[in-house]
């Protein structure tokens, strides 16, 4: 069964512009794949805990030596990893906060980056262990950043996703959303047109 993993990271929930675009993508994808299923991971309503020493050490502890609490931490991480592994396609709603990605999304990434499970190191460098699949990033920004030095998101997202094996990454930008007037509407309309094309491809 075709499966879309829909990740939303706006702190405004469904009121955020990146979530609006994310929902547009999901609705169009489901229309194209009526027999498919959507796994929604909304990091505003169900945030992933930020990585701390306890959680990191739980990942490193061998299964036979984990406490019940450590096993619960690993089980949660495994659930997130299994979601992304089972997906046919992934969409990520990505707002820009203070030139970076939301901390909730970083926490999510910290729980799916597991040595020996989603990546491994070799003498020739790291190798991603997740089977490649399309990842569509719906980037909503108040200003204009794409192609400038202030855009820290694009390089980071490509680097992290490639690190775990996901190289088929497509960015759909909606920029200038805080400028008001017609520019905001034009940017959202352009992004929705790109979403339609991406889903149909």
Residue 116, judged by CB atoms within 10 A of its CB (0-12, 13-18, 19+), counts as exposed
How far is the C-alpha of 15 from the C-alpha of 134, rounded, in Å? 26
* The two structure tokens encoding residue 51: 């990585």
The answer to whether the annotation marks 145 as part of a ligand binding site is: no
Tell whether 9 is in a known binding site: no
- Cα–Cα distance between 115 and 113 in angstroms, integer? 7
What whole-number distance in Å separates Cα of residue 189 and Cα of residue 130? 33
Cα–Cα distance measured from residue 194 to residue 198, given in angstroms and rounded to the nearest whole number = 6
Dist. CA 176–CA 183, nearest whole Å: 7
Q: Is 157 annotated as a binding residue?
A: no
Q: Which of 104, 169, 170, 174 is nearest to 145 (CA)?
A: 174
Which residue ranges make up the annotated binding site? Answer: 10, 96-99
Question: Which residues are annotated binding-site positions for FMN?
Answer: 10, 96-99
């Amino acid at each position: 069964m075709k499966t879309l993993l829909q990740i939303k990271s706006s702190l405004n929930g469904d009121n955020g512009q990146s979530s609006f675009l994310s929902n547009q993508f999901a609705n169009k994808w489901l229309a194209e794949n009526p027999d498919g299923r959507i796994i929604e991971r909304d990091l505003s309503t169900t945030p992933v805990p930020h990585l701390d020493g306890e959680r990191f050490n739980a990942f490193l502890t061998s299964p036979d030596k984990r406490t019940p609490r450590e096993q619960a931490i690993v089980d949660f991480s495994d659930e997130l990893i299994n979601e992304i592994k089972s997906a046919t396609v992934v969409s990520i709603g990505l707002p820009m906060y203070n030139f970076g990605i939301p901390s909730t999304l970083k926490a999510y990434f910290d729980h799916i980056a597991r040595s020996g499970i989603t990546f491994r190191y070799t003498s020739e460098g790291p190798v991603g262990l997740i089977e490649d699949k399309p990842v569509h990033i719906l980037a909503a920004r108040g200003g204009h950043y794409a192609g400038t030095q202030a855009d820290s998101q694009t390089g980071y997202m490509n680097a992290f996703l490639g690190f775990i094996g996901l190289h088929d990454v497509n960015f759909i930008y909606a920029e200038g959303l805080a400028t008001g007037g017609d520019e905001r509407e034009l940017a959202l309309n352009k992004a929705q047109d790109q979403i339609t094309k991406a889903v149909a491809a």
